[in-house]
Amino acid sequence: MRVTVPRNPGTVAGVVMAVFLVLRIPGAHCRDAPKNFVYQFKGMCYFTNGTERVRLVARQIYNKEEILHFDSDLGKFVAVTELGQVCAETWNTQKDLLAEFRAYVETLCRHNYKETASFTVQRRVEPTVTVSPASTEDPNHHNLLVCSVTNFYPRQVKVKWFRNQQEETAGVGFTPLTQNGDWTYQIHVMLETKPQLGDVYVCRVDHPSLQSPITVEWRAQSESAQSKTRSGIGGFVLGLIFLGVGLFVHFWDKRGKAPWEKKGKAGAGLKSLC
């Protein structure tokens, strides 16, 4: 892959994506610069419909203030402050310089867009979606359900909450969309609700990376329902133990021997029992 940078005398270029920097020291006829100053150049390519509609604005900034820029829509340099007027007027008379900047729309903006689109504009990373209650307090109080949508790209995402298939709009809040710094985003969408036993909550996420939306379900289970489940399981296990002991005693009683002694082979470790 080759990313084009502008190439001309007096040019210091750094290209990151579609941004380029041009250093063009203002001539003596522009302005006498003091000893210490900061001069910045910011080339910005604006793409409003792929590479169909491209505009280049190459900004020249003196001590943090933009003094003039080249605007490809106008095809010339435009002064922004009084300080930039002399430079803009002078540079607009230089036909080769104008031609060079006009050509950047094609050789720099469109070129770099095409070279980088596959891993930028077209980048798609599917989100990971999880649902969790934020507090497990008194079930009679309002609870917070959090739908965490993480590690996705690009930033456009639609997250909706449903309760028993009805969309919930009241009581929905969300954290600001966070840029993780590794070309992924995350967002957390909260639903303030009072879950009733048997309620089914669904968080639905739609994103450009997905063929169809991701849905994650959460079922309301009260504290008492949870403890009932626990006692149910406990009771079942206890029942099994009693059944086992009962069967053991039954066989032992009937044959005067432990079940494993049926064939006269005593379990070595259990001999003393008999």
Ligand X SMILES: *[C@@H]1O[C@H](CO)[C@@H](O)[C@H](O)[C@H]1NC(C)=O
Binding residues for ligand X (CB under 6 A) = 49, 52
- Residue 72 or 193 with smaller CB distance to ligand X: 72
Instruction: Tell me the closest approach of the beta carbon of residue 113 to ligand X, in angstroms.
Output: 13
Q: Which positions ≥6 away from 181 have C-beta within 8 Å? A: none
| Nearer Cβ to ligand X (118/135) | 118
- N-terminal to C-terminal alpha carbon distance within the chain: 85
* Smallest distance from ligand X to CB 52, Å: 4
Query: Hey, is 101 helix, strand or coil?
Result: helix
Sheet holding 200-206: strands in order across?
Answer: 166-168, 158-163, 200-206, 214-219
- Least Å distance between CB 47 and ligand X? 11
Asked whether 81 and 67 are in contact (CB, 8 A), the reply is yes
User: Measuring CA to CA, how many Å separate 194 from each of 127, 134, 136, 234?
Assistant: 27, 13, 12, 29
CB of 50 to ligand X, least distance (A): 6
Residue number with the smallest Cβ distance to ligand X: 49
The nearer residue to ligand X, 54 or 88, going by C-beta atoms, is 54
Residue number with CB closer to ligand X (50 or 246): 50
Write down the least CB distance from residue 156 to ligand X, Å.
17
Both tokens assigned to 116? 């980088």
Q: Find the shortest distance in angstroms from Cβ 102 to ligand X.
A: 22
Do the beta carbons of residue 143 and residue 199 sit within 8 Å?
no
- Closer to ligand X by Cβ: residue 14 or 50: 50
Residue 120 Cβ, how far from ligand X at the closest point, in Å?
Answer: 18
156 vs 227, beta carbon nearer ligand X = 156
Alpha carbon distances (Å) from 31 to 27, 34, 79, 107, 261: 7, 9, 14, 31, 110
**Separation CA 192–CA 169 (nearest Å):** 10
Q: Which residues pair with residue 62 across a beta bridge? A: 39, 65
For residues 73 and 167, which CB has a smaller minimum distance to ligand X in the complex? 73
Q: Which amino acid is at 145?
A: L
